[in-house]
Structure 1
Amino acid sequence: MRIPPLPADQWDDTVDAALKGMLPRWRRNPENASTVLSTLVQHPALTQAYLSFNVYILFNSTLTGRLRELMILRIATLADCAYEVSHHRALGKDAGLTDEEIEAAIRGEGRSDSDRIALAAVDELENSSRISDDTWTQLSEHFDEKQRMDLVFTAGSYRMLATAINSFDIQLEDER
């Protein structure tokens, strides 16, 4: 790991404050926080700022949890981020995805027209940092303006997190 998780003896009130908006009290410690959060708190101010945005994406977005997880699985796959794929397989199941839907999303395939066009948009964002006019028109048939905006920011947020995870060489919990 290039940046290891914060050692347990360095978890203080600043770290707790950085995680407060994302995690319940019982998870705000080195034993119960994920490896990614335990690593990000090496920089509490950055973590707090990022997690404020991420809480919106996870809990307040206009997108359904199911669609969000399909998109995250796809962007994590395109970014070659095994950590995100692993975690979001479980979160996808919690959001109601089947194993078949998870595997299809990883391949960029969706079961419905709205799933397929959302995943195509994720691919375009990854490949060219832009959704084409044709794809935007198709998205407009399934998603309102706020949902389209949330779609772009969801893909971008999780691409950014994948970049950090890969660059910091954050390991899965069972690989630490």
Structure 2
Amino acid sequence: MARLPYLQRSELPPEHQDVLTRNIAINQVLANSPGAARAFGDLGMFIRHRSRLDPRLRQLAIMQIGWSARNRYEWSHHVQIGRDAGVTRSDIANLAIEAAGIESSIDALARLVLRGAREMWEGPGMSAATFAALHDELDKECLTDLVVAIAYYCGVVRILATLDVEVEPEWQPYLVEFPLPP
């Protein structure tokens, strides 16, 4: 059970019911502070729907954070979202290989994105070498969007862990198909 209640739309005043347009567990918990939920959701929607960054690269970065954090909620949701964005089974297998410190067969740009996400997760930020290599491959807007996405999802997994948000039953099969390491 989450550390704060999972709220439903009917429990919110009409002016705040929109924070549960996507009625998923993280939003239900964040609805305990509608203003924070709205601000949090706005940045998330920019990252997922308005950024110019290639959706596959964005999802690989997000999935790397979920993997690195061993966060079941984040991982389960973004396995499916990643698939919808073009992430393949091979990409997921290669993410695990790269995370173990072994070079995989994933394309060079995706390898850089995964490395940058791991470096930002481990902190305090992406190394100068990785940033420079990504700067050679991405324009300034896409590179900024990548850094913002990684930083945002580093925060997301910490929110999920702190509030003890549970994986919804419909997302559980992704944890079976693509289990996180212990």
1:106 Cα offset (Å): 4.2
- The answer as to 2:102 corresponding to 1:102 is no
Q: Deviations over 1:67-122 (max 9, x none)?
A: 11111110111122110000000001111111121232244357111000111111
Paired residue type of 2:138: F
Pairwise CA RMSD of aligned residues? 1.9
**Alignment match of 1:138 (pick from 133, 138, 152):** 133
SS in 1 for 2:36: helix
**Alignment match of 1:75 (pick from 58, 65, 70):** 65
TM-score normalised by L of structure 1: 0.85
Counterparts of 1:144 and 1:9, CA distance in 2: 44
Counterparts of 1:138 and 1:84, CA distance in 2: 27
Specify which structure has the bigger relative contact order, considering alpha-carbon pairs within 8 angstroms and separated by 6 or more residues: 2
Moved more, 98-107 or 34-43: 98-107
Paired residue type of 1:170: V
SS in 2 for 1:141: helix
Moved more, 104-113 or 36-45: 104-113
Structure 1 match to 2:152: 157
When the two structures are aligned, how many residues end up with a matched partner?
A: 164
Structure 1 match to 2:6: 5
Structure 2 match to 1:123: 118
**Alignment match of 1:61 (pick from 47, 51, 61):** 51
Name structure 1 gaps, 5 residues minimum: 28-32
Determine what percentage of the aligned residue pairs are the same residue. Answer: 26
Structure 1 match to 2:165: 170
